Chains A and B, each alone.
Chain A
Amino acid sequence: MQPFEKVILHFDGDSFFASVEQVMDYRLKGKPVVTGGERGAITSASYEAKRLGISRGVTLRDAKKICPDLAIVPGNYLWYSVFAERMYTIVREFTSIVEEYSIDECFADITGLDVVMKMSYEDIARVIKSKLETSLGVTFGVGMGPSKVLAKVASKHRKPAGFTVITSQNREDFLRELPLGKVWGIGPASSIAFSKMGVFTALQLAETTDAWIDHHRVSLPYREIRAELQGMSVKELSLEYEIPHSIIVSRTFRPPSSDREVLISQLSKHIESACAKARRYGVCAREMRFYLKTQEFAYKGYECSLPLPTASPIDIIRMVKKFINRIYVPGVLYRATGICLRGFVPESHLSSDLFGESVGVEKRSHVHKVIDMLSRKFGDHTVFLGSSMKALGDQKIRERGKTLEIPMLGICRTTNIGVVRCVE
Protein backbone atom coordinates (compact mmCIF):
# COMPACT_ATOMS: atom_id res chain seq x y z
CA MET A 1 0.00 0.00 0.00
CA GLN A 2 3.06 2.19 -0.26
CA PRO A 3 2.39 4.46 -3.22
CA PHE A 4 5.93 5.88 -3.13
CA GLU A 5 9.19 4.45 -4.19
CA LYS A 6 11.21 5.28 -1.08
CA VAL A 7 10.57 5.07 2.64
CA ILE A 8 12.81 7.39 4.60
CA LEU A 9 12.90 7.76 8.38
CA HIS A 10 14.21 10.76 10.28
CA PHE A 11 15.16 10.39 13.94
CA ASP A 12 15.54 13.50 16.05
CA GLY A 13 16.58 13.21 19.71
CA ASP A 14 14.25 15.31 21.85
CA SER A 15 16.22 18.09 23.61
CA PHE A 16 19.13 15.77 23.07
CA PHE A 17 21.89 17.37 25.15
CA ALA A 18 19.56 18.19 28.07
CA SER A 19 18.02 14.71 27.90
CA VAL A 20 21.43 13.04 28.05
CA GLU A 21 22.26 15.17 31.09
CA GLN A 22 19.04 13.96 32.72
CA VAL A 23 19.93 10.34 31.97
CA MET A 24 23.43 10.71 33.36
CA ASP A 25 22.40 12.61 36.48
CA TYR A 26 19.12 11.42 37.98
CA ARG A 27 18.84 14.57 40.09
CA LEU A 28 18.08 16.50 36.89
CA LYS A 29 15.24 14.18 35.89
CA GLY A 30 11.88 15.91 35.55
CA LYS A 31 13.47 19.30 36.16
CA PRO A 32 14.08 22.33 33.97
CA VAL A 33 17.62 21.89 32.66
CA VAL A 34 19.61 23.78 30.06
CA THR A 35 23.03 23.00 28.64
CA GLY A 36 25.54 25.50 27.33
CA GLY A 37 26.77 26.89 30.65
CA GLU A 38 30.35 26.71 29.37
CA ARG A 39 29.69 29.09 26.50
CA GLY A 40 27.18 31.33 28.24
CA ALA A 41 24.37 30.52 25.81
CA ILE A 42 21.66 27.87 25.84
CA THR A 43 22.49 24.99 23.49
CA SER A 44 19.62 22.75 24.57
CA ALA A 45 16.67 22.99 26.95
CA SER A 46 14.78 20.11 28.57
CA TYR A 47 11.03 19.90 27.96
CA GLU A 48 10.44 21.01 31.53
CA ALA A 49 12.36 24.19 30.70
CA LYS A 50 10.68 24.57 27.29
CA ARG A 51 7.27 24.48 28.94
CA LEU A 52 8.32 27.57 30.91
CA GLY A 53 9.29 29.32 27.70
CA ILE A 54 13.03 28.69 27.97
CA SER A 55 14.64 27.62 24.72
CA ARG A 56 17.67 28.28 22.55
CA GLY A 57 17.77 31.96 21.84
CA VAL A 58 16.75 32.98 25.36
CA THR A 59 19.72 34.41 27.25
CA LEU A 60 20.88 32.60 30.39
CA ARG A 61 20.14 35.72 32.41
CA ASP A 62 16.51 35.82 31.19
CA ALA A 63 16.17 32.07 31.66
CA LYS A 64 17.31 32.42 35.27
CA LYS A 65 14.69 35.17 35.73
CA ILE A 66 11.94 32.95 34.34
CA CYS A 67 13.03 30.03 36.48
CA PRO A 68 15.36 30.72 39.42
CA ASP A 69 15.72 26.96 40.04
CA LEU A 70 16.89 26.32 36.49
CA ALA A 71 19.80 23.87 36.33
CA ILE A 72 22.48 25.25 34.01
CA VAL A 73 25.06 22.63 33.14
CA PRO A 74 28.15 22.82 30.95
CA GLY A 75 27.87 20.73 27.81
CA ASN A 76 29.58 17.36 28.05
CA TYR A 77 30.21 16.69 24.38
CA LEU A 78 31.95 13.40 25.02
CA TRP A 79 28.73 12.00 26.48
CA TYR A 80 26.62 13.39 23.64
CA SER A 81 28.86 11.82 21.04
CA VAL A 82 28.79 8.45 22.85
CA PHE A 83 24.98 8.60 22.87
CA ALA A 84 24.97 9.72 19.21
CA GLU A 85 27.21 6.78 18.24
CA ARG A 86 24.81 4.47 20.04
CA MET A 87 21.90 6.00 18.16
CA TYR A 88 23.58 5.45 14.75
CA THR A 89 24.59 1.88 15.68
CA ILE A 90 21.08 0.92 16.80
CA VAL A 91 19.52 2.28 13.59
CA ARG A 92 22.21 0.46 11.56
CA GLU A 93 21.09 -2.84 13.08
CA PHE A 94 18.05 -2.45 10.80
CA THR A 95 19.54 -0.89 7.66
CA SER A 96 23.00 -0.01 6.45
CA ILE A 97 21.72 3.11 4.68
CA VAL A 98 22.02 5.56 7.56
CA GLU A 99 23.06 9.19 7.31
CA GLU A 100 24.64 10.60 10.45
CA TYR A 101 23.13 13.99 9.86
CA SER A 102 24.14 15.56 13.18
CA ILE A 103 24.91 14.69 16.79
CA ASP A 104 21.21 14.27 17.55
CA GLU A 105 19.68 13.40 14.17
CA CYS A 106 19.94 10.71 11.53
CA PHE A 107 18.16 9.57 8.40
CA ALA A 108 17.57 5.94 7.47
CA ASP A 109 16.33 4.41 4.22
CA ILE A 110 14.15 1.38 5.05
CA THR A 111 12.78 0.83 1.55
CA GLY A 112 12.10 -2.87 1.05
CA LEU A 113 12.59 -3.75 4.70
CA ASP A 114 8.87 -4.52 5.10
CA VAL A 115 9.33 -7.66 3.02
CA VAL A 116 12.50 -8.71 4.84
CA MET A 117 11.10 -8.12 8.34
CA LYS A 118 7.54 -9.16 7.44
CA MET A 119 6.25 -6.01 9.13
CA SER A 120 4.61 -2.81 7.96
CA TYR A 121 6.90 0.21 7.56
CA GLU A 122 5.05 1.92 10.42
CA ASP A 123 5.75 -1.01 12.73
CA ILE A 124 9.43 -1.12 11.75
CA ALA A 125 9.72 2.57 12.58
CA ARG A 126 8.04 1.97 15.94
CA VAL A 127 10.39 -0.94 16.72
CA ILE A 128 13.49 1.18 16.00
CA LYS A 129 12.07 4.10 17.96
CA SER A 130 11.33 1.97 21.00
CA LYS A 131 14.75 0.31 20.86
CA LEU A 132 16.41 3.75 20.77
CA GLU A 133 14.33 5.04 23.65
CA THR A 134 14.88 2.02 25.92
CA SER A 135 18.58 1.73 25.18
CA LEU A 136 19.42 5.41 25.55
CA GLY A 137 16.77 6.60 27.99
CA VAL A 138 16.12 9.52 25.64
CA THR A 139 12.92 10.02 23.61
CA PHE A 140 12.98 10.61 19.85
CA GLY A 141 10.78 12.46 17.42
CA VAL A 142 10.44 10.14 14.43
CA GLY A 143 9.19 11.05 10.99
CA MET A 144 8.46 8.79 8.05
CA GLY A 145 8.01 9.98 4.49
CA PRO A 146 8.81 9.30 0.85
CA SER A 147 11.72 11.77 0.91
CA LYS A 148 14.23 13.23 3.36
CA VAL A 149 12.53 16.63 3.36
CA LEU A 150 9.10 15.13 4.10
CA ALA A 151 10.55 12.77 6.76
CA LYS A 152 12.01 15.83 8.46
CA VAL A 153 8.71 17.71 8.26
CA ALA A 154 7.11 14.65 9.87
CA SER A 155 9.58 14.27 12.74
CA LYS A 156 9.14 17.91 13.69
CA HIS A 157 5.38 17.64 13.59
CA ARG A 158 4.72 16.31 17.06
CA LYS A 159 7.32 16.68 19.81
CA PRO A 160 8.42 15.22 22.13
CA ALA A 161 8.39 11.47 21.48
CA GLY A 162 6.13 11.81 18.44
CA PHE A 163 5.82 9.51 15.46
CA THR A 164 4.33 10.96 12.31
CA VAL A 165 3.86 9.39 8.89
CA ILE A 166 3.49 11.47 5.76
CA THR A 167 1.93 9.66 2.81
CA SER A 168 0.59 10.70 -0.58
CA GLN A 169 -2.86 10.88 0.98
CA ASN A 170 -2.05 13.25 3.83
CA ARG A 171 0.97 15.08 2.35
CA GLU A 172 -1.01 18.18 1.41
CA ASP A 173 -2.52 18.52 4.89
CA PHE A 174 0.96 18.73 6.40
CA LEU A 175 2.28 21.22 3.87
CA ARG A 176 -0.74 23.52 3.58
CA GLU A 177 -0.10 25.50 6.78
CA LEU A 178 3.66 25.01 6.89
CA PRO A 179 5.56 28.28 6.35
CA LEU A 180 8.22 27.76 3.71
CA GLY A 181 10.95 28.98 6.08
CA LYS A 182 10.30 25.97 8.33
CA VAL A 183 11.22 23.54 5.55
CA TRP A 184 14.65 21.95 5.85
CA GLY A 185 17.10 23.67 3.51
CA ILE A 186 15.19 26.94 3.14
CA GLY A 187 16.89 29.74 5.04
CA PRO A 188 15.48 33.12 6.06
CA ALA A 189 16.84 34.87 2.95
CA SER A 190 15.41 32.39 0.47
CA SER A 191 12.08 32.27 2.26
CA ILE A 192 11.84 36.07 1.85
CA ALA A 193 12.80 35.73 -1.81
CA PHE A 194 10.04 33.16 -2.35
CA SER A 195 7.48 35.26 -0.49
CA LYS A 196 8.20 38.11 -2.90
CA MET A 197 7.24 35.70 -5.67
CA GLY A 198 3.99 34.93 -3.84
CA VAL A 199 5.08 31.57 -2.40
CA PHE A 200 4.58 31.47 1.38
CA THR A 201 3.89 27.84 2.28
CA ALA A 202 5.50 24.49 1.58
CA LEU A 203 2.44 23.40 -0.37
CA GLN A 204 2.59 26.45 -2.63
CA LEU A 205 6.18 25.59 -3.56
CA ALA A 206 5.27 21.94 -4.15
CA GLU A 207 2.45 23.00 -6.46
CA THR A 208 4.41 25.43 -8.63
CA THR A 209 4.60 24.46 -12.29
CA ASP A 210 7.82 23.68 -14.14
CA ALA A 211 7.20 26.76 -16.26
CA TRP A 212 6.98 28.92 -13.12
CA ILE A 213 10.23 27.43 -11.78
CA ASP A 214 12.02 28.09 -15.10
CA HIS A 215 10.57 31.57 -15.40
CA HIS A 216 11.82 32.55 -11.93
CA ARG A 217 15.17 30.84 -12.52
CA VAL A 218 14.88 28.84 -9.28
CA SER A 219 18.23 27.20 -8.59
CA LEU A 220 18.89 23.48 -8.24
CA PRO A 221 18.83 23.11 -4.42
CA TYR A 222 15.31 24.58 -4.33
CA ARG A 223 14.17 22.49 -7.29
CA GLU A 224 15.29 19.48 -5.28
CA ILE A 225 13.39 20.62 -2.20
CA ARG A 226 10.31 21.15 -4.39
CA ALA A 227 10.60 17.61 -5.78
CA GLU A 228 11.05 16.20 -2.27
CA LEU A 229 7.98 18.10 -1.07
CA GLN A 230 6.08 16.53 -3.97
CA GLY A 231 7.03 13.14 -2.59
CA MET A 232 9.93 12.30 -4.88
CA SER A 233 13.20 11.23 -3.28
CA VAL A 234 16.01 13.14 -4.98
CA LYS A 235 18.33 13.90 -2.06
CA GLU A 236 20.50 10.86 -1.56
CA LEU A 237 21.43 9.83 1.95
CA SER A 238 25.02 10.82 2.54
CA LEU A 239 26.80 7.83 4.03
CA GLU A 240 30.08 9.62 4.63
CA TYR A 241 31.00 11.01 7.97
CA GLU A 242 30.37 14.71 8.14
CA ILE A 243 33.05 17.16 9.09
CA PRO A 244 32.15 18.50 12.52
CA HIS A 245 31.12 22.12 12.88
CA SER A 246 33.25 22.58 15.98
CA ILE A 247 35.20 20.54 18.51
CA ILE A 248 34.88 21.53 22.13
CA VAL A 249 36.80 20.13 25.08
CA SER A 250 36.30 21.47 28.58
CA ARG A 251 36.65 20.14 32.07
CA THR A 252 36.30 21.27 35.67
CA PHE A 253 39.39 20.64 37.76
CA ARG A 254 40.01 20.40 41.45
CA PRO A 255 41.18 22.16 43.51
CA PRO A 256 40.34 25.52 41.92
CA SER A 257 43.44 27.47 41.05
CA SER A 258 44.58 31.00 40.36
CA ASP A 259 47.94 29.80 39.03
CA ARG A 260 48.36 30.89 35.41
CA GLU A 261 50.63 27.93 34.68
CA VAL A 262 48.03 25.46 35.97
CA LEU A 263 45.40 27.04 33.71
CA ILE A 264 47.68 26.89 30.69
CA SER A 265 48.45 23.29 31.47
CA GLN A 266 44.73 22.41 31.71
CA LEU A 267 44.14 24.18 28.40
CA SER A 268 47.11 22.41 26.89
CA LYS A 269 45.61 19.05 27.84
CA HIS A 270 42.24 19.99 26.27
CA ILE A 271 43.96 21.33 23.17
CA GLU A 272 45.77 18.02 22.74
CA SER A 273 42.44 16.16 22.96
CA ALA A 274 40.70 18.55 20.58
CA CYS A 275 43.54 18.35 18.04
CA ALA A 276 43.61 14.55 18.23
CA LYS A 277 39.90 14.54 17.43
CA ALA A 278 40.40 16.98 14.54
CA ARG A 279 43.11 14.70 13.15
CA ARG A 280 40.76 11.71 13.39
CA TYR A 281 38.40 13.61 11.10
CA GLY A 282 41.32 14.66 8.90
CA VAL A 283 40.60 18.36 9.37
CA CYS A 284 42.46 21.50 10.43
CA ALA A 285 40.97 24.42 12.35
CA ARG A 286 41.08 28.03 11.22
CA GLU A 287 39.58 29.57 14.34
CA MET A 288 39.83 28.96 18.04
CA ARG A 289 38.25 30.13 21.24
CA PHE A 290 39.38 29.41 24.77
CA TYR A 291 37.82 30.32 28.05
CA LEU A 292 38.29 30.31 31.79
CA LYS A 293 35.51 29.77 34.29
CA THR A 294 35.84 31.35 37.71
CA GLN A 295 34.89 29.81 41.03
CA GLU A 296 31.84 32.12 40.83
CA PHE A 297 30.83 30.47 37.53
CA ALA A 298 31.64 33.53 35.43
CA TYR A 299 33.04 32.84 31.98
CA LYS A 300 35.78 34.82 30.30
CA GLY A 301 36.65 33.84 26.77
CA TYR A 302 38.96 34.93 23.98
CA GLU A 303 38.64 34.04 20.33
CA CYS A 304 40.93 34.50 17.38
CA SER A 305 41.71 33.03 14.01
CA LEU A 306 44.82 30.93 13.50
CA PRO A 307 47.65 32.09 11.23
CA LEU A 308 47.51 28.76 9.40
CA PRO A 309 44.84 26.05 9.51
CA THR A 310 46.18 23.52 11.98
CA ALA A 311 45.49 20.38 14.00
CA SER A 312 48.73 20.71 15.93
CA PRO A 313 48.41 21.50 19.64
CA ILE A 314 51.68 23.43 19.64
CA ASP A 315 50.27 26.07 17.25
CA ILE A 316 47.19 26.54 19.36
CA ILE A 317 48.94 26.59 22.73
CA ARG A 318 51.16 29.33 21.32
CA MET A 319 48.04 31.44 20.77
CA VAL A 320 46.73 30.68 24.26
CA LYS A 321 50.01 31.78 25.80
CA LYS A 322 49.96 34.92 23.71
CA PHE A 323 46.44 35.97 24.62
CA ILE A 324 45.65 34.44 28.02
CA ASN A 325 46.53 37.64 29.85
CA ARG A 326 43.63 39.37 28.08
CA ILE A 327 41.21 37.30 30.17
CA TYR A 328 43.28 36.01 33.09
CA VAL A 329 43.09 38.04 36.30
CA PRO A 330 45.75 37.23 38.93
CA GLY A 331 44.32 36.21 42.29
CA VAL A 332 40.97 35.07 40.90
CA LEU A 333 40.18 31.39 41.51
CA TYR A 334 39.31 29.41 38.39
CA ARG A 335 37.56 26.06 38.33
CA ALA A 336 37.35 25.11 34.67
CA THR A 337 38.93 25.77 31.29
CA GLY A 338 37.80 24.98 27.80
CA ILE A 339 38.84 25.13 24.18
CA CYS A 340 36.76 25.28 21.03
CA LEU A 341 38.19 24.68 17.55
CA ARG A 342 36.17 25.85 14.54
CA GLY A 343 36.23 26.70 10.87
CA PHE A 344 37.48 23.29 9.76
CA VAL A 345 39.01 22.61 6.38
CA PRO A 346 40.00 19.17 5.14
CA GLU A 347 43.71 18.49 5.64
CA SER A 348 44.12 17.59 1.98
CA HIS A 349 42.84 20.99 0.84
CA LEU A 350 45.66 22.90 2.47
CA SER A 351 47.81 24.89 0.08
CA SER A 352 51.40 25.73 0.85
CA ASP A 353 51.98 29.22 2.12
CA LEU A 354 54.44 31.71 0.75
CA PHE A 355 56.72 32.02 3.73
CA GLY A 356 57.37 28.40 4.54
CA GLU A 357 55.54 28.09 7.86
CA SER A 358 53.86 24.96 6.59
CA VAL A 359 57.18 23.12 6.45
CA GLY A 360 57.18 22.97 10.24
CA VAL A 361 53.58 21.81 10.16
CA GLU A 362 54.52 18.92 7.87
CA LYS A 363 57.38 17.82 10.09
CA ARG A 364 55.10 17.72 13.08
CA SER A 365 52.49 15.68 11.22
CA HIS A 366 54.84 12.67 11.40
CA VAL A 367 55.06 13.14 15.14
CA HIS A 368 51.26 13.32 15.33
CA LYS A 369 50.88 10.12 13.36
CA VAL A 370 52.98 8.32 15.94
CA ILE A 371 51.19 9.98 18.88
CA ASP A 372 47.81 9.04 17.40
CA MET A 373 48.92 5.44 16.94
CA LEU A 374 50.10 5.27 20.53
CA SER A 375 46.80 6.75 21.74
CA ARG A 376 44.83 4.17 19.80
CA LYS A 377 46.86 1.39 21.28
CA PHE A 378 47.38 2.53 24.86
CA GLY A 379 44.67 5.12 25.43
CA ASP A 380 44.45 8.88 25.09
CA HIS A 381 47.31 11.04 26.36
CA THR A 382 49.79 8.16 26.40
CA VAL A 383 52.29 10.67 25.09
CA PHE A 384 51.62 14.29 25.87
CA LEU A 385 53.22 17.68 25.62
CA GLY A 386 55.33 19.05 28.44
CA SER A 387 52.89 21.93 28.70
CA SER A 388 50.15 19.47 29.71
CA MET A 389 52.34 17.92 32.42
CA LYS A 390 50.79 19.76 35.37
CA ALA A 391 47.31 18.69 34.28
CA LEU A 392 48.09 15.18 33.11
CA GLY A 393 51.05 13.98 35.13
CA ASP A 394 49.14 13.21 38.29
CA GLN A 395 46.01 12.14 36.50
CA LYS A 396 47.83 9.52 34.46
CA ILE A 397 49.27 7.99 37.60
CA ARG A 398 45.84 7.91 39.24
CA GLU A 399 44.12 6.41 36.24
CA ARG A 400 46.83 3.99 35.27
CA GLY A 401 45.49 4.35 31.77
CA LYS A 402 42.34 2.41 32.55
CA THR A 403 39.27 3.69 30.74
CA LEU A 404 36.15 1.99 29.53
CA GLU A 405 34.22 2.77 26.38
CA ILE A 406 30.86 2.79 28.08
CA PRO A 407 29.26 5.78 29.71
CA MET A 408 29.03 5.58 33.44
CA LEU A 409 25.86 6.85 34.89
CA GLY A 410 26.77 9.45 37.40
CA ILE A 411 27.09 12.97 38.50
CA CYS A 412 30.78 13.29 37.86
CA ARG A 413 31.55 14.71 34.46
CA THR A 414 34.04 12.10 33.47
CA THR A 415 34.56 8.71 31.99
CA ASN A 416 37.32 7.97 34.45
CA ILE A 417 36.53 4.68 36.10
CA GLY A 418 37.59 5.99 39.51
CA VAL A 419 34.70 8.42 39.85
CA VAL A 420 31.63 6.50 38.85
CA ARG A 421 28.17 7.09 40.27
CA CYS A 422 27.50 4.84 43.20
CA VAL A 423 24.50 2.63 43.78
CA GLU A 424 23.44 1.23 47.13
Chain B
Amino acid sequence: MRTGFAAPATEELADTITIGEYLIRHKESTYLMKVEGDGMASEGLLDGDMVLFERRIDAKRGDIVIVLDEAGYRLVPLSKRLVGQIIGVVTASFRTYAAF
Protein backbone atom coordinates (compact mmCIF):
# COMPACT_ATOMS: atom_id res chain seq x y z
CA MET B 1 0.00 0.00 0.00
CA ARG B 2 1.34 3.38 -0.94
CA THR B 3 0.94 6.44 1.22
CA GLY B 4 1.57 10.11 0.63
CA PHE B 5 2.73 12.77 3.02
CA ALA B 6 0.51 13.42 5.97
CA ALA B 7 -1.56 16.53 5.43
CA PRO B 8 -0.30 19.20 7.82
CA ALA B 9 -2.79 20.22 10.46
CA THR B 10 -4.17 23.74 10.23
CA GLU B 11 -2.31 24.77 13.41
CA GLU B 12 0.97 24.05 11.65
CA LEU B 13 -0.11 26.05 8.63
CA ALA B 14 -0.70 29.00 10.95
CA ASP B 15 3.06 29.17 11.44
CA THR B 16 3.64 30.14 7.81
CA ILE B 17 3.82 33.76 6.80
CA THR B 18 3.24 35.47 3.50
CA ILE B 19 5.90 37.60 1.82
CA GLY B 20 3.60 40.58 2.36
CA GLU B 21 3.49 39.97 6.11
CA TYR B 22 7.27 39.68 6.14
CA LEU B 23 7.83 42.93 4.26
CA ILE B 24 5.03 45.06 5.68
CA ARG B 25 4.91 45.87 9.37
CA HIS B 26 2.33 48.66 9.38
CA LYS B 27 -0.11 47.89 6.62
CA GLU B 28 -2.18 51.04 7.18
CA SER B 29 0.66 53.44 6.49
CA THR B 30 2.66 51.48 3.89
CA TYR B 31 2.84 52.41 0.21
CA LEU B 32 4.79 51.17 -2.79
CA MET B 33 7.00 52.83 -5.39
CA LYS B 34 9.23 51.73 -8.21
CA VAL B 35 12.85 52.87 -8.45
CA GLU B 36 13.89 54.59 -11.66
CA GLY B 37 17.57 55.01 -12.47
CA ASP B 38 20.65 53.85 -10.59
CA GLY B 39 21.18 56.98 -8.47
CA MET B 40 20.71 54.91 -5.32
CA ALA B 41 22.93 51.98 -6.38
CA SER B 42 25.29 52.85 -3.52
CA GLU B 43 22.41 52.08 -1.15
CA GLY B 44 21.68 48.85 -2.96
CA LEU B 45 18.63 50.11 -4.83
CA LEU B 46 18.68 49.54 -8.57
CA ASP B 47 16.56 50.64 -11.50
CA GLY B 48 13.29 48.69 -11.46
CA ASP B 49 13.42 47.75 -7.77
CA MET B 50 10.24 48.12 -5.76
CA VAL B 51 10.45 50.00 -2.48
CA LEU B 52 7.94 49.92 0.34
CA PHE B 53 7.75 53.01 2.49
CA GLU B 54 5.81 54.12 5.53
CA ARG B 55 4.27 57.52 5.93
CA ARG B 56 5.55 58.64 9.30
CA ILE B 57 7.11 61.64 10.95
CA ASP B 58 10.00 60.12 12.90
CA ALA B 59 12.59 59.75 10.12
CA LYS B 60 16.11 59.51 11.51
CA ARG B 61 19.48 60.36 10.03
CA GLY B 62 20.64 57.50 7.85
CA ASP B 63 17.13 56.41 6.92
CA ILE B 64 16.40 56.35 3.23
CA VAL B 65 13.51 58.74 2.73
CA ILE B 66 11.24 59.66 -0.14
CA VAL B 67 11.27 63.37 -0.72
CA LEU B 68 8.85 65.36 -2.86
CA ASP B 69 9.90 68.56 -4.59
CA GLU B 70 8.85 70.32 -7.79
CA ALA B 71 10.61 67.75 -9.96
CA GLY B 72 8.76 64.84 -8.35
CA TYR B 73 9.81 62.10 -5.97
CA ARG B 74 13.42 61.43 -5.02
CA LEU B 75 15.05 58.78 -2.86
CA VAL B 76 17.72 60.16 -0.53
CA PRO B 77 19.55 59.09 2.60
CA LEU B 78 18.33 61.53 5.23
CA SER B 79 20.97 64.13 6.01
CA LYS B 80 20.96 67.55 7.62
CA ARG B 81 20.44 69.62 4.52
CA LEU B 82 17.38 68.34 2.79
CA VAL B 83 15.36 70.15 0.17
CA GLY B 84 11.72 69.19 -0.21
CA GLN B 85 9.08 67.50 1.84
CA ILE B 86 9.60 64.05 3.37
CA ILE B 87 6.78 61.78 2.20
CA GLY B 88 7.88 58.61 3.93
CA VAL B 89 10.65 56.34 5.17
CA VAL B 90 11.75 53.34 3.09
CA THR B 91 11.24 50.16 5.11
CA ALA B 92 11.85 47.39 2.55
CA SER B 93 12.61 46.70 -1.08
CA PHE B 94 12.37 43.81 -3.49
CA ARG B 95 13.51 42.93 -6.96
CA THR B 96 12.51 40.45 -9.63
CA TYR B 97 14.87 38.90 -12.19
CA ALA B 98 14.76 38.03 -15.86
CA ALA B 99 13.30 34.60 -15.21
CA PHE B 100 10.31 36.17 -13.38
Contact = CB atoms under 8 A, between A and B. Distances in A.
Contact of B75 (A137, A406, A417, A423): A423
A89 B66 CA distance: 25
Contacts of A89: 27-28
A421 B24 contact: no
B59 to A, nearest CB: 11
A421 B37 contact: no
Contacts of B50: 417, 420
B37 A424 contact: yes
A417 B39 CA distance: 22
A424 B19 CA distance: 25
Nearest to B100: A400
B56 interface: yes
Contacts of A420: 32-34, 50
B55 A137 contact: yes
Given A134-B57, A405-B20, A424 B36 contact: yes
Nearest to A415: B32
* Chain B interface residue bracket vs A: 20 to 34
A405 B19 CA distance: 12
Contacts of A134: 29, 55-57
A404 interface: yes
A28 interface: no
B28 to A, nearest CB: 5
A407 B30 CA distance: 8
A120 interface: no
B37 A90 contact: no
Contacts of B68: 26, 29
A136 interface: yes
Contact of A86 (B28, B34, B37, B72): B28
Given A423-B66, A424-B73, A404 B31 contact: no
A424 B47 CA distance: 9
B35 interface: yes
Interface string B5-45: 00000000000000010001011111111111101000000
Contacts of A422: 33-36, 73
Contact of B32 (A26, A86, A135, A406): A406
B72 A409 contact: no
B37 to A, nearest CB: 5
A137 B56 CA distance: 10
A197 to B, nearest CB: 47
Interface string A127-162: 000000011110000000000000000000000000
Contacts of B75: 423-424
Contact of A406 (B30, B36, B72): B30
A408 interface: yes
Interface in A374-424: 404-410, 417, 420-424
Contacts of B74: 423-424
Nearest to A421: B33
B48 to A, nearest CB: 9
Contact of B27 (A26, A406, A410, A424): A406
A201 to B, nearest CB: 40
A90 B28 CA distance: 7
B32 A408 contact: yes
B34 A407 contact: no
Given A134-B57, A404-B20, A408-B33, A423 B73 contact: yes
18 contacts: A86-B28, A86-B29, A134-B29, A134-B56, A404-B32, A405-B20, A407-B32, A408-B33, A410-B33, A420-B32, A420-B34, A420-B50, A422-B35, A423-B33, A423-B75, A424-B37, A424-B39, A424-B72
Interface of B: 20, 24, 26-37, 39, 50-52, 55-57, 66, 68, 72-75, 87
Interface of A: 26, 29, 86, 89-90, 134-137, 404-410, 417, 420-424
In the complex, the 6 A-B pairs of residues with the closest C-beta atoms, listed nearest first: A135-B29, A422-B36, A423-B73, A420-B34, A408-B32, A86-B28
Given A136-B29, A136-B55, A421-B33, 20 more contacts: A29-B68, A86-B27, A86-B28, A134-B55, A135-B26, A135-B56, A404-B20, A405-B20, A405-B27, A409-B87, A417-B50, A420-B32, A420-B34, A421-B73, A423-B66, A423-B72, A423-B74, A424-B35, A424-B72, A424-B75
